[in-house]
Amino acid sequence: MPQCSSSSRVSLSGKFFRLDGEKFHPKGVTYGPFAPNEQGEHFASPSRTRRDFELIRELGANLVRVYYVPPLWFLDLANEGNIKVLVDVPWNKERCFLESGSTREEALLAVNAAARACGAHPAVFAMSVVNEIPPDIVRWSGTSRVADFIDELVEAVRQVSPECLCTFGNYPPTEFLRPQSIDFHCFNVYLHQPKPLENYLARLQMIADAKPLVLGEFGIDTLREGEDRQSEILSWQIELMFRGGAAGAIVYGFTDDWFKNGDQVRDWAFGLTRADRQKKPAFAAVSELFKTAPYFPAKHCPKVSIVVASYNGDRTLAACLESLQRLNYPDYEVILVDDGSTDSTSEMVRRFEKVRYLRHERNLGLSAARNTGIAAATGEIVAFTDADCRADEDWLHYTVADLMTSRFAGIGGHNFLPPDDSWIAAAVMVSPGGPAHVMLTDRIAEHIPGCNMVFYKWALDEINGFDPIFRKAGDDVDVCWRLQQRGYKLGFSPAGFVWHYRRSTVMDYLRQQYGYGEAEALLARRHPEYFNWVGGGRWQGRIYSPAKFGVITRRPIIYHGIFSSGFFQTLYTGQPEYALMFLTSIEYHVLVTLPLLVLGAVMRPLVPIGIASALVSVSVCLAASLQAELPKAKRIARSRPLVALLFFLQPVVRGWARYSGSLFNSHKSVSELETLDSLSLLNRDRIFDTIRYWNDRPLDRIDLVAAVITQLDRAGWPNKADAGWNDFDVEVYGSQWCQMQLLTAAEAYAPRQQSIRCRLKPRWTMFARTVFWSAAGTELLILGFLGALAPWWSWLVLLTLPFFIWWLRCRERDMQRVLAAFLDGVAAQLGFKKMDETSRQSSPVADLPDRVVAVGGVEPSR
């Protein structure tokens, strides 16, 4: 247990706390309240308290939770014994306290007085401004009003004692209360079965999100359950809570000596000791667990290979590698893959003798660097973080343990803004486009960010690692989707986190978003089922991020149970209005605002409409910036204007990059493909919608498709294989204008003979569709505005559209011919024989072999 000096204060550290630079895990008991002592205080006498503290230290606890503001002598005794105190401030929350100014002021005064009395004392761990507000009172007063009042109470503490941590005691009937100002979440939970408690802890971690979670009360009544049952339940409860990533746990309570509402309570016995301080069996059990907590040993700790891919990342790389040298995990290696850096990375890494250093002579991209790390990994598990991250010392302890005790193929965790990052980085953190996890349930993730992800090596090997086409970003999304398409699941470890430096300048942020846009264009080709018609991603789960990705306009819905009597009263939060964010998109600017302003030069009445359209976009960005939850320590006057600016610029920059990748990205052109020898066989007047191949021995058509994909990759042709969602086997991108979909079907003939049909279906690319509809829309818009003023010959401009369609059809036919020749070559390598045109007619089976012709220089066997 960390020793505390007279000036030691507990501070926040991501999902945990720190004391004197070390992790501090609250392991405590509730204490009292007791019958008033000689001074009228609801505490035992100083001598009794001193003896109780000796028992508490023997228990292995480092914290007590009290329900009255303690006197100075009590705090001094706690400080002497290295015991921290969680102070619950009592006031009458059983009344409708927001209905009158006097009751409201009474609560504020009580909290302010408590902060003045003990908020600055070093023994105080934190102050709880209220404990367990009745759910019917909350419903009467209004959820948002009560949450705002809790924030007021927290502010009353901070005005007096800024360094004092603040929380409030919540419980399942009011789990929907979400005040913003608390430093950590404190929940009282009484569940006596392992699975329900495990499930609820996962839910509480999602509620706590980026803040620590402390279990403020849990216990067993020995009068009803028995002392042996108390010992048994507390044993698995404490272990389960700490394994689940809880920052602390407080047993209710220390003793059966309990005074409430003016009377000694005799029909409840939750204590680890009896009223005379005789130990119950649970005392020894909890003592043993507190000595082990929070680091309960795992049944198996497989070797982990940590891969860090870095390209010119020397500014933050040293801090990253230093953090990886101090991990609380018994067996791991660190592999740094230098992806052709031109900075001081190679010199700096010499300071880290235990780091395996691999270098690419030129920059190959993020995915290639990670694949190099996977190939060099000797661990059963491969973990990834970035050069601009610092890992928490317990990162692997939690993520690997959660992975090993689940059926997940991979797992991820939080990434937090470091305390030493800039105010600009804080603004970037709450702006759209940052790394975020997407959750399908409280445990199952749809996506985990690349800066904090851990996989079984066999899972990565099965999907051939990362796709090298993703050079800057998108590789993590692609890997997550490919694993899920194979039937595997991904998880989330709430306690396994890293500190992630954000972009520190606006230009760096916009460059990052441009790279994300390029990655989206690539992802849309690989996984079109996850994207809408304009190329925007569609997530099935909920995005967890400091950035809201939109403006929230709908009020949350709460299930209270009948007459507000539900024990678990659930909050269903309003999701950001993604449709409203269309008003900030590049599509809206190009299709609505810009045309209105341009046409306004000719038709003056359109100018105010164009200006109003632009102002609507700006207003949405301002609303989003006002809803952004900026860290108070990083908030300055320019923060929200900067967030509004980033909300305006990000969709434009990212959208432009996405369209650039989709519309203008170079494809393998038809002219480049006509170097194939097999093209000499082509008759350019023939149509190649359908091709048939014959085989005298059974050969799965999947082998043909796999061979086609392999040869396409070798030739450098961009292509996308079916992932189970498509009505084609392979889609080939042949030019800016058209792409081709290959569909195959196998026909069986006896004995042991088959034919395979191949259909080549052309499709316009997004670029072609955009050009066509933009031209058509512009022409109709101009002619429509001119109306009768338009001369008759101006309507002839519409004839360009049929010409454009004819021209595209010619490009499609060219690509069909090229791919038909390509298929002939692949089929010949596999021993397939091409069937001539007449074989497309219905014929007797016996005649089919006679209609086979040689392809690719292979003579058909007779």
Of 121, 125, 149, the C-alpha closest to 137 is 149
pLDDT score at 10: 95
Least confident of 92-101, 133-142, 320-329, 782-791: 782-791
> Quick check: 224 pLDDT over 70?
yes
At residue 330, the pLDDT reads 94
Amino acid 43: pLDDT: 94
Q: What pLDDT was estimated at residue 728?
A: 87
Q: Mean pLDDT over residues 630-649, rounded?
A: 87
Q: Between the CA of residue 592 and those of 39, 105, 274, what are the distances in Å?
A: 75, 52, 75
pLDDT at 388: 92
Q: Which of 311-315, 449-453, 842-846 has the lowest mean pLDDT?
A: 842-846
List alpha helices for 250-409, DSSP H: 281-292, 314-324, 345-348, 366-376, 395-404
Residue 541's pLDDT is what? 77
What is the C-alpha to C-alpha distance for residues 111 and 88, in angstroms, rounded to an integer? 9
**What pLDDT digit, counting tens, does each position of 280-305 carry?**
999 999 999 999 999 998 888 999 99
More confident residue, 590 or 662: 590
Q: Which residues contact 162 (CB under 8 A, 6 or more apart)?
A: none
Place of tokens 């699975």: 195
Please give the pLDDT value at position 571: 58
Angle (CA) 844-756-813 rounded to 5° is 110
For residue 504, pLDDT over 90 is answered with no
Edge-to-edge strand order for the sheet containing 542-544? 355-360, 332-339, 304-310, 381-386, 453-456, 410-412, 490-492, 444-447, 437-439, 542-544
Q: pLDDT band for position 478 (50/70/90)? A: very high
Q: Which of 203-212, 789-798, 839-848 has the highest mean pLDDT?
A: 203-212
The tokens describing 428, both together, are: 């970037």
Instruction: Please name which of 67, 460, 492 lies closest in space to residue 261, comparing C-alpha atoms.
Output: 67
Give the pLDDT confidence score for residue 861 in this predicted structure: 33
At residue 672 the predicted structure's pLDDT band, cuts being 50, 70 and 90, is: very low
pLDDT band at 849 (very low <50, low <70, confident <90, very high): very low
- For a pLDDT cut of 70, what percent of the chain falls above it? 85
d(C-alpha 288, C-alpha 162), whole Å: 36
Provide the pLDDT for residue 119.
92
pLDDT at 134 (0 to 100)? 92
Residue 616 has pLDDT above 60, yes or no: yes
Residue 577 has pLDDT above 90, yes or no: no
For the residues 785-793, what does the mean pLDDT come to? Answer: 60
DSSP states of 204-272 as a string? HHHHHTTS-EEEEEE---HHHH-HHHHHHHHHHHHHHHHHTT-SEEEES-SBS--EETTEE--S----S
pTM of the model: 0.79
> Who has greater pLDDT, 134 or 670?
134
Q: How many helices (H) and strands (E) does the chain have?
A: 25, 35
Q: Is-cis flag, bond preceding 487, omega within 30? A: no
Per DSSP (E only), the strands in 526-636 are 542-544, 557-559, 570-572
Question: For position 739, what pLDDT does the model report?
Answer: 85
Torsion of CA 327, 329, 332, 337, to 10 degrees: -30
Instruction: Give the span between the Cα atoms of 781 and 772, in whole angstroms.
Output: 14
Question: Across residues 118-122, what is the average pLDDT?
Answer: 93
- Residue 97: CA atoms inside 13 Å, Cβ hemisphere, count? 21
pLDDT at 679 exceeding the cut of 60 = no
pLDDT at 806 over 90: no
Q: Tell me what percent of the residues of the chain surpass a pLDDT of 90.
A: 48
Confidence of residue 854 (pLDDT cuts 50, 70, 90): very low
183 or 253, which is more confident: 183
Q: What is the CA radius of gyration of the chain?
A: 33
Say yes or no to pLDDT of 26 above 60: yes
pLDDT classification of 84: cutoffs 50, 70, 90: very high
Q: What per-residue confidence (pLDDT) applies to 790?
A: 60
pLDDT computed for residue 272 by the predictor: 96
Asked whether residue 354 carries a pLDDT value surpassing 70, the answer given is yes
pLDDT of residue 236: 96
Band of pLDDT at residue 326, cut at 50, 70 and 90: very high
Return the pLDDT at 590: 85
Mean pLDDT (whole number) for 123-131: 96
Q: Are strands 498-500 and 415-416 parallel, antiparallel or unpaired?
A: parallel
Helix (H, G, I), strand (E, B) or coil at 710: helix
> How many other C-beta atoms lie within 10 A of the C-beta of residue 300?
10
606's enclosing H/E stretch is helix 606-627
Structure tokens that stand for 100 in this block: 């009158």
pLDDT greater than 90 at residue 190:
yes
- Between 750 and 278, name the one with better pLDDT: 278
What's the confidence (pLDDT) of residue 594?
A: 85
Average pLDDT, the chain: 85
- Assign 712 to helix, strand or coil: helix
Residue pLDDT, tens place only, 483-492: 998 899 999 9
Which amino acid is located at 109 in the chain? L
Mean pLDDT of 386-410: 95
Q: Taking Cα atoms as reference points, which of 179, 174, 172, 82 lies closest to residue 129?
A: 179
pLDDT class of 234 with cuts at 50, 70, 90: very high
Mean pLDDT score, 660-681: 48
